[in-house]
């Protein structure tokens, strides 16, 4: 078995562009300005203007000109890589590291491994998390699957008093997670563990025919009535798994997800601003939903994450507080 790091697009810029084109244009190049798929020209040997750092300019890989609207573009257009001065093969390295590390990879580690500045590493991590963010997917538990639902508190919100207590406190971040057994995870950063916050999210993301499983908390009692079935485990009485009609009633799956998430947030990311929390949740959801047990290896997971780079440019602009 050869190392995946030998793939040419991890080190060679021209190969990285070829790979990007396969991802962005699976059916051949499309002009991002006018939608033309017909006549276009590959512009070879074009270089950027000379600069102090690059007196001879840099080769503009993958540059094309549309035969209809005459505009120039590369496959980076409308992706999270657009306008980034970071070479594409380095972006691919970062994507692989982030996708292959179960508990994530810190900006500091990316900075040391890739040799980019810490600020650049931080920016790359967040753009890649954006690519991992799923949008507009079908509800979980369709066809009568089992969906485990739980919420957790962790960290401290900004400005919380030093002595803010542990447990279900208004000073801590709250996440709600839905996990389809044998399937995907979806997590949400919510203001508080209340029916008002949780109900609309669960309604929008879980199919009516799903069998849901939660702990005994009363709020789930009301929410649970809308689904095909609702079973609870009584953690207060130390009950974690119960068998009913041959199927295990438990929330151990979603708790296992939280255990990886919390170890990653504590051990790898350490400090996370509240406004970025949804991106870290998306990252852990993504790796969980594309895990080895579902037949997805590190390499395939990276390919799938890169599949999410297209059309995320608006989010890229909205969320880039720092300029690069």
- Contacts with Zn ion by CB under 5 A lie at 31, 33-34, 36, 66, 68-69
Minimum gap (Å) between residue 31 Cβ and Zn ion = 3
Query: Sheet holding 64-66: strands in order across?
Result: 40-42, 64-66, 72-73
Query: Cβ closer to Zn ion: 33 or 171?
Result: 33
Query: Cβ closer to Zn ion: 38 or 57?
Result: 38
Query: Cβ closer to Zn ion: 14 or 69?
Result: 69
Alpha carbons within 13 angstroms on the beta-carbon side of residue 80 total 25
Tokens 């199927």 sit at which residue?
A: 247
CA distance 278 to 188: 7
Query: Cβ closer to Zn ion: 11 or 72?
Result: 72
Minimum gap (Å) between residue 75 Cβ and Zn ion = 14
* C-alpha angle 18-19-21 in degrees, rounded to nearest 5: 65
Q: Which tokens sit at 107? A: 């900006």
Minimum gap (Å) between residue 40 Cβ and Zn ion = 8
Minimum gap (Å) between residue 47 Cβ and Zn ion = 23
Minimum gap (Å) between residue 88 Cβ and Zn ion = 22
75: Cβ–Cβ under 8 A, 6 or more apart, which residues? 17, 20, 21, 23, 24, 25, 29, 62
CA distance 300 to 96: 10
If we measure between CA atoms, which residue out of 9, 3, 40 comes closest to residue 22?
9
Minimum gap (Å) between residue 71 Cβ and Zn ion = 5
Conformational region of residue 37, where left means phi above 0, alpha means psi within -120 to 50, and beta covers everything else? alpha
Sign of CA dihedral 264, 265, 267, 270: positive
Query: Cβ closer to Zn ion: 72 or 101?
Result: 72
């Amino acid at each position: 078995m050869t190392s995946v790091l030998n793939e040419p697009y991890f080190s060679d810029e021209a190969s990285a562009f070829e790979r990007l084109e396969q991802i962005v244009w699976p059916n051949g190049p499309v002009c991002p300005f006018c939608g033309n798929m017909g006549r276009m020209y590959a512009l070879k040997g074009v270089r950027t203007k000379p600069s102090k750092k690059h007196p001879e300019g840099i080769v503009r890989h993958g540059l094309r000109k549309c035969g209809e609207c005459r505009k120039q573009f590369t496959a980076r257009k409308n992706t999270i890589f657009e306008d980034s001065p970071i070479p594409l093969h380095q972006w691919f390295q970062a994507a692989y590291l982030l996708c292959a590390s179960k508990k994530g990879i810190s900006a500091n580690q990316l900075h040391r491994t890739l040799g980019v500045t810490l600020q650049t590493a931080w920016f790359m991590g967040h753009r890649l998390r954006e690519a991992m963010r799923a949008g507009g997917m079908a509800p979980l538990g369709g066809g009568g699957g089992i969906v485990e639902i739980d919420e957790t508190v962790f960290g401290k919100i900004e400005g919380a008093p030093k002595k803010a207590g542990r447990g279900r406190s208004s000073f801590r971040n709250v996440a709600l997670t839905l996990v389809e057994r044998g399937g995907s995870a979806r997590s949400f950063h919510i203001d508080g563990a209340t029916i008002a916050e949780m109900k609309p999210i669960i309604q929008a993301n879980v199919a009516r025919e799903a069998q849901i499983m939660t702990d005994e908390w009363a709020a789930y009692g009301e929410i649970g009535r809308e689904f095909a079935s609702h079973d609870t485990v009584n953690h207060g009485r130390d009950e974690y798994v119960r068998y009913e009609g041959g199927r295990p009633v438990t929330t151990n799956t979603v708790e296992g997800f939280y255990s990886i998430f919390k170890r990653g947030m504590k051990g790898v990311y350490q400090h996370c601003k509240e406004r970025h929390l949804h991106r870290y949740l998306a990252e852990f959801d993504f790796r969980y939903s594309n895990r080895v047990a579902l037949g997805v290896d590190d390499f395939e997971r990276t390919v799938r994450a890169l599949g999410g780079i297209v059309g995320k440019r608006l989010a890229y602009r909205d969320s880039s507080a720092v300029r690069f």
